[in-house]
Amino acid sequence: MDKLDQQIEIKTSQIAEKIKTLRIEKGFTSHETFAYEYDFNRTYYWRVEKGQNITLKTLLKILAIHNLSLEEFFKGL
């Protein structure tokens, strides 16, 4: 894995971790419950929190659920 791939992996992990933190802060201890409540496929949402192939549409939906803008979400990452 080259340096660019490593940097991308690190950023992807940070984004996924922040999404997971937002879910927990909203009071959902289970990714499955959150996925059900907001109409995500539970396996797909689990992958989102693991940093696997999140789409822009999904990211925007998650940010809307948490009332965050892109700028707010990415600040500090």
Residue 14's H or E segment, with its range, is helix 3-25
> Which three-class secondary structure state does DSSP give residue 39?
coil
The pTM is what? 0.92
User: pLDDT, tens digit, for every residue of 44-61?
Assistant: 999 999 999 899 999 999
Domain tally, the chain:
1
Tell which residue, 68, 61, 12, has the closest CA to residue 39. Answer: 61
CATH code of the domain covering residue 20: 1.10.260.40
The values of phi and psi at residue 54, to 5°, are -75, 135
d(CA 10, CA 13): 5
User: pLDDT, tens digit, for every residue of 10-55?
Assistant: 999 999 999 999 999 999 999 999 999 999 999 999 999 999 989 9
Show the domain range for 36. Answer: 3-74
d(CA 8, CA 32): 27
